[in-house]
Amino acid sequence: MKALDRKLLRDLWRMRGQVLAIALVLGAATATFVLSVGVYRSLTETRDVYYERNHFADVFANLTRAPRSVVARIAALPGVQRAEGSIQQYATLEFPGRNVPVRALVNSVDEYGRDRLNLVTLREGRMPRPGQPGEVVVDEAFAEANNLVPGSSVAALIYGNRQRLDIVGIGLAPNYIYSIAPGDLIPDNERYGIFWMGRDALEAATDRREAINSLALTLRRGVSRADVIRQVDRILEPYGGTGAYGREDHISHAFLDSDLQQLDAMTRLIPPIFLLVSTFLVYIVLGRMIRTERTQIGLIKAFGYSSRQVAWHYFKFALAIALAGALPGSAAGIWMGQEMTRLYAEYYRFPFLSYHVSPPVLLAAASLSLLSATLGALGGMRSAVSLAPAVAMSPPPPPVYRSGAVENLGRLAGFSAIGHMIVRHIARWPGRSAITALGVALSLGLLFTTMQFMDSTNYMLESYFSRAQRQDLTVSFTEARNEDVLYEIAQIPGVMRVEGRRDIPVRLSNGNRTERTAIQGAPAQAWLTARIDSGGGEIAMPVSGLMLSRQLADQLAVDTGDRLYVEVLGGHRTEMSLPVASVVDEFIGANAYAAERTLLALARDAAPVGSALLLIDPAARDNILAELRQMPVVLGVTERSAAMDLFEEMIDENIFTMMSFYIAFASAIAVGVVYNSARILFSERSHELATLRVLGYQRSEVGLILIGELAILVLASVPLGGVIGYWLAQLTIAMFSSELFRLPFAPTWASFGYATVVILLAALATAALVALRVMRLDMVRVLKARE
């Protein structure tokens, strides 16, 4: 082994505490990169393969009723590769001993296996056979939640007819990776499921012989999807078509794509921040270590080693640290990625989903770690190369202390001699002190950023479920009704308040910008639902015109006072121009609202009630649910408390799990930064501290000098870290926002307090270690090292 290599090993062992702290930071950065990129790529690749293998459609359309012959007309359109028509029908299921209405969406499949789009993948059992009207395949999530297996049966009310359904298989389909009931925000697998029934059987059950009400098609490469959609809408308009739409508006794909966007944002934001802190830390440690080893560098060069060999020696020091962090960091990232993938598999149903990290990802993670360490080492390496032997072997000139502003302020403040030593050293090296404070501030800001993400999520949930949604139950109907249904529900014992609501599917246009959405309407005196802006204030419904969420307004590039072209999708297909009366900053969805009078003018069907919001006596809940289940007009019932519990469970298991990993990493970085700062201060001032001991200062007084300087720098970093965390958190929130969710910036003092406490605890623990080293200071060895 070469002499410089032996020196390298001795240096690594001598500085093992600092080396491990930097390796911990680099390992945290590597783990976040492997975790984020691995999960993102695993989900993306699985989705793409699943879509291709099961022929997920490019365009979808719903209609009231059309002859099956219309499918051939659609398939003949230029650019259409394949078209298939089917039947979709909502059904109410009956489970013994359960009062809560359970819904299912029943899809038709060809009993002879001639389907080619949105193919069902069987997990158990078989597909329905010809001539067996009651056979169905159930989606896996619903089957697991309700303990259904092939051979089970369930009673169902389909199109007003009661029928027994025999489960012959458990399956999955690419258009129901994320199966969610209309109006819900999260899947409720106990109360909503997807069924597949033979085409002939479902035609008979819904009185739709040789008819369809749903369409799916794939397109040829290079075809304009917008042109195809316009032609499809033209053909389906006489049949009650509600407007064709692409994958981006398909509810299952939209939710999955939103999560993938957030994962991509994590990949592009958090690991680079960790690497930046790592680079900064290596720069501080290696640069200062080289300054303390200037005499050794002079001797090495005097013995004939070239500047390139010296630079390579210190580069290997950085390389060793990078490897020490990259290897365990990659292993930790793989383990955490597997855990995150398991959680995603509970919400997104794929026939196969495994966490897979390709060698290029691991190589990229190691390269980033090495690049971070190399960049941090460049400054110190440059100074090592530039030192001439004669200059390096001579001691550095002693610092010149002059009576300045700090000295005068200290005198006026009555500082002791020790106090003067502390503030004088900080003032003498302002750049070095600022770098130390900045390093601690960066770690505090990073920790605060990850903590406030949870605050934002909790604020969003509280705003939506507690303030905007005040009802206990939401009752959806099979079709829009008049006000009589509200009076009927109000007669149920225990119902304290009933309000109607109507959602009309529309296409909003502003020039070449078009968005599909639903305009939500409510009576003027509605109280059970409200529009809450990002500031927590309630926004009144405009008397006329439209109220848009900020998300939808930005997508359409409109603001208050602009006009939108509104086309109702279905029904009388009313078209009119309406002004944008107001814009509200909301957190969930891209929504449009209008007063009841405006909605009636658009619908023109004298049926203002599409669903009912109920405020109930909790003691009467079971009886109310039983009564609602017996009403044939009721399609489903959603409980606000159950929806909130499901949403919180998803947040806890999914987002909070990942953020907990990031918080742990950020905490480790904070500890590493503070520890290294303290060790560097000790190594730089060990000669001065030993001199003070020789001059008669007590161990406690000498230790106070070092600990006091560290305390001042840490305390100075707290407000700076708050500012850094504030802007970093704003950036994180902006990158995590999507079309479905927009997180508010709502940090709490508790998050800032947690970040500050972690920094202070790290400082206290480090101070104790430094104090112990001061107590054990070998004065003779330290003083002779400078001779």
Do 69 and 216 have their domain in common? yes
Average pLDDT, the chain: 82
Output the pLDDT for position 31. Answer: 84
494: left (phi over 0), alpha (psi -120 to 50) or beta: left
Do 574 and 648 have their domain in common? no
pLDDT tens track for 184-198: 777 888 889 999 999
Output the pLDDT for position 384. Answer: 65
- Judge if pTM exceeds 0.85: no
Reply yes or no on whether the pLDDT at 124 is more than 90.
yes
Output the pLDDT for position 571. Answer: 74
Reply yes or no on whether the pLDDT at 595 is more than 60.
yes
Do 204 and 135 have their domain in common? yes
Q: Residue 611 domain-assigned? A: yes
Do 550 and 693 have their domain in common? no
Do 66 and 211 have their domain in common? yes
Q: Where is pLDDT greater, at 171 or 699?
A: 171
Question: Which of 616, 633, 667 is the last residue before a domain boundary?
Answer: 616
Q: Residue 725 domain-assigned? A: yes
Cα 568 to Cα 79: distance, rounded to the nearest angstrom: 26
Cβ atoms of 238 and 94 closer than 8 Å: no
Residue type, 552: L
Q: How many CB atoms lie within 10 A of CB 611?
A: 23
Q: How many CB atoms lie within 10 A of CB 726?
A: 16
Pairing of strands 153-158, 88-94: antiparallel
Where do the DSSP E strands lie in 571-717? Answer: 575-584, 592-595, 609-616, 634-639
Reply yes or no on whether the pLDDT at 787 is more than 50.
no
Average pLDDT of the residues in 233-255 = 88
Q: Residue 476 domain-assigned? A: no
Element containing residue 730 per DSSP (H, E): helix 699-736
Average pLDDT of the residues in 133-149 = 93
pLDDT tens track for 641-666: 877 777 777 666 666 666 676 667 66
List the single range of 368-377, 472-481, 587-596 with lowest mean pLDDT: 368-377
Q: Where is pLDDT greater, at 68 or 28?
A: 68
Do 65 and 187 have their domain in common? yes
Pairing of strands 211-219, 59-67: antiparallel
Reply yes or no on whether the pLDDT at 785 is more than 70.
no
Do 720 and 650 have their domain in common? yes
Total domains in the chain come to 3
Cβ atoms of 218 and 54 closer than 8 Å: no
Output the pLDDT for position 1. Answer: 57
Q: Residue 290 domain-assigned? A: no
Output the pLDDT for position 137. Answer: 96
Instruction: Tell me the backbone φ, ψ of residue 518, rounded to 5 degrees.
Output: -130, 135
Burial 74-96 (b: 16+ CB within 10 A, else e): beebeebebbbbbbebbbbbeee
pLDDT tens track for 500-532: 888 888 889 998 888 888 888 877 677 888 777
Do 125 and 220 have their domain in common? yes
Do 117 and 229 have their domain in common? yes
Do 89 and 201 have their domain in common? yes
Q: How many CB atoms lie within 10 A of CB 560?
A: 14
Question: Which of 221, 239, 254 is the last residue before a domain boundary?
Answer: 254
Cα 493 to Cα 628: distance, rounded to the nearest angstrom: 12
Do 591 and 725 have their domain in common? no
Q: Residue 630 domain-assigned? A: no
pLDDT tens track for 682-737: 766 676 777 777 777 777 777 777 777 778 888 888 898 888 888 888 887 877 77
Cα 568 to Cα 599: distance, rounded to the nearest angstrom: 10
Question: Which of 578, 600, 616 is the last residue before a domain boundary?
Answer: 616
Q: Residue 502 domain-assigned? A: yes
Do 105 and 237 have their domain in common? yes
Q: Residue 292 domain-assigned? A: no
- Please state, for a pLDDT cut of 70, what percent of the chain lies above it: 86
Reply yes or no on whether the pLDDT at 783 is more than 60.
no
Q: Residue 358 domain-assigned? A: no
Cβ atoms of 282 and 317 closer than 8 Å: no
Cα 133 to Cα 512: distance, rounded to the nearest angstrom: 47
Average pLDDT of the residues in 60-77 = 93
The parent domain of residue 520 ranges over 495-616
